[in-house]
A and B are shown apart, each in its own frame.
Chain A
Amino acid sequence: MKRWIVMVVISCVLLVGCGDKTYVPREIVGETDVCKICNMSIVHNEYAGQIALKNGDFEMFDDLGCLMEYIKANGENEIGAAFIKDANNDEWIDVFKATFIYNKEYWTPMNYGVLAFKTKDAAVDWMALKGEGQVLVYQDLQNFNWGIHQ
């Protein structure tokens, strides 16, 4: 009997250790959340981003450009997950899997002009309604010239 109990406990520990930790985005707290990079209070929630760190902390951002600046400065090693709001429906989506579109005329809180969508189709549909942009993926954002574009 004792042997069985020990085996069950070991199996549980192994299963927990092997399982991927899931990261869930947290709600924006309007009263206290400010962008980790530029210090702006987050009032345009539909453009916000957040990073769930592996240590359980969250870093909040008012714009995708600020989130990318954080990743550039700190690397990806400590990041559990990164989320950005879908420009279509204000829902959190995975930054690493999202499709992005850029046009200098798209307004964002830092005026970087990059919007995020869950799928490429959603981005294309959005552009058909609101105006053409340049389609980008996460890798493109790493070398993107963040800042105002004349």
Chain B
Amino acid sequence: MMKKVGSVLLFLLFMSQTVYADFDIQKAIDRAKPGATITIPAGQYKGNFVLTKKITLRGIQGTELVALGNEPVFRIDGGSTVTIENMALSGNKQAIVASDVDGLELRNLNIKDSHTGVYIQRSKNVHIQHIEMTGNNSHFSKKGNGLAIFKSEDVVVEDTNIKLVQDGIYVEEVKNILVQNNRVTNSRYGTHFMYSSNVQAFHNTYRNNVTGFMVMMTNDIYVKDNHLENHNGLNSYGMLLYDAQQAVLELNTIMNNRTGVALQKSVGITIASNDFRMNQTALEGIMVKGNSVATNNQFTGNILTARADRQGFLLTNNYYDDYSGIDLKNDGIGDVPYVAVSSFGQWMVRQPVYQYFVASPSVVLLTSLDQQINKTEKTVLVDVTPKLMTHQITKKNETNFQQLLIGLLIVTTSMWLWKRGVS
């Protein structure tokens, strides 16, 4: 009996060992002429592969490459037009490291069990598309970024799905980058821009991170149509612009964050036509300079609409759900200014821990007093042209015949039972 059990265990042990495919990828790369396409058959391959010439590596369903040691699966040094697509990658430190490449394309890659997914430096014309990357549940300080791009130019990152990493997309010293249709969840920052210029971010969805967009020392920024949701930790922001210059943030949905959008030491920021919903504080400004304005935004369900230091910033033509003025002229603009000045808000700027008292009765009373006192302010957190409802959703009455029939049946039965009871 024991012999049989032992045989079964040995069989299971043997079967659970990974069997590696025998196609020699490095040999194929070395033998290929520049510009060739190598198709890697399905199977699991272990190794560290080096690319230095124009080449396309294409996997098929079931192609999986695992790095040996701390070297990446692929190291791309120099060369032009390198394409890697359709495969799963795992590496202890990084899955892909690319340096000095002109024309790098990474498509349809599934990266797991890696500290950092893709690390790119000093490269041009980079296109990253359809990357799936899942990190692990350890603290952010113990893991790397999903995609990290340094000192590069003309980069597009799109349609990626990244979770449980430090920063989903980390961008440092990059000129001309478009980040679109990405989804980053449960990470430190969704996208982290540092020292970059001509930055565009469209249609991204960031949820449950510490902060959605972290933008630092970056200029010429266009952030449009993104969805930033559930960044509600002690130090969380939907979007934080620190020392940023010339940014347009428009048509974004910013909901359920501790602070929706924060501007610090930033210059020339336009926040237009965004939907701020259910944030603890919708807008925050500290040392904001140079014609920064929030206009045509919709503020609904936020505990505090805006807070700022003495410099403040300009609010104009926004809709506020807590605006209590009237519109006798019927021009869609309230007749009295909306006052967002809040002494308590300014205290919160200095001591974030005060946020826990934000809806207490004394704070509500203080905010009401602020609103009465500051109506004559012209520039600091007072909107002299507050919009009344910007758009209304009209829904036609629809008849649900199923529900109507059931209702009629219940009413008729009840009346019949009642009549029987009476007689």
Contacts and interface: CB of A to CB of B under 8 A. Distances in A.
B210 A41 contact: yes
Given A32-B234, A34-B235, A39 B240 contact: yes
- Interface size bracket, B side: 20 to 34
B354 to A, nearest CB: 15
A30 B141 contact: yes
Contacts, number: 41
A41 B240 CA distance: 12
Contact of A148 (B140, B195, B242): B195
Given A38-B242, A111-B172, A148 B217 contact: yes
B259 to A, nearest CB: 10
A38 B235 contact: no
Contacts of B237: 39
Interface string A19-38: 00000000000111010001
B264 A43 contact: no
A103 interface: no
Contacts of A44: 141
A137 B370 CA distance: 48
A43 B240 CA distance: 17
Contact of B214 (A32, A40, A42): A40
Contacts of A111: 172-173, 194-195
Interface in B189-212: 194-195, 210
B93 to A, nearest CB: 15
B139 interface: yes
A41 B235 contact: yes
B188 interface: yes
A44 B235 CA distance: 17
Interface of A: 30-32, 34, 38-45, 110-111, 147-148
10 contacts: A30-B139, A34-B235, A38-B264, A39-B237, A39-B242, A39-B264, A43-B140, A44-B141, A110-B194, A148-B217
